[in-house]
């Protein structure tokens, strides 16, 4: 299981509803909002999108180039 930060709880719920075979309803014990997923089942392009968005959520503005 791998977890990444998402924009908000609704984003996490939408991913779980969209692909319940990939995304888990439960996450890790760290702060919310996050979504956990099964690494072997995720599409590589979707993985890139999730990791990139998780970075953008956490990264300071000066690194994001906003």
Give yes or no for a contact between 35 and 6, defined as CB atoms under 8 angstroms apart.
yes
Mean pLDDT of 39-56: 95
What single-letter DSSP state applies at residue 42? Answer: S
Q: Is the pLDDT of residue 32 over 80?
A: no
Total structural domains within the chain: 1
**How many Å apart are CA 29 and CA 19, to the nearest integer?**
22
CB 4 within 8 A of CB 46: no
Range of the domain at 23: 2-64
> What number is the average pLDDT over the span 9-27?
91
Alpha-carbon distance of 34 to 3, in angstroms, equals: 6
Which candidate, 5, 13, 2, 3, places its Cα nearest to that of 58? 5
């Amino acid at each position: 299981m791998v977890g990444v930060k998402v924009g908000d709880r609704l984003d996490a719920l939408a991913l779980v509803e969209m692909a319940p075979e990939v995304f888990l309803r439960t996450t890790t014990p760290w702060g919310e909002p996050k979504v956990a997923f099964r690494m072997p089942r995720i599409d590589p392009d979707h993985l890139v999108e999730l990791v990139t968005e998780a970075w953008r959520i956490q990264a300071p503005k000066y690194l994001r180039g906003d």
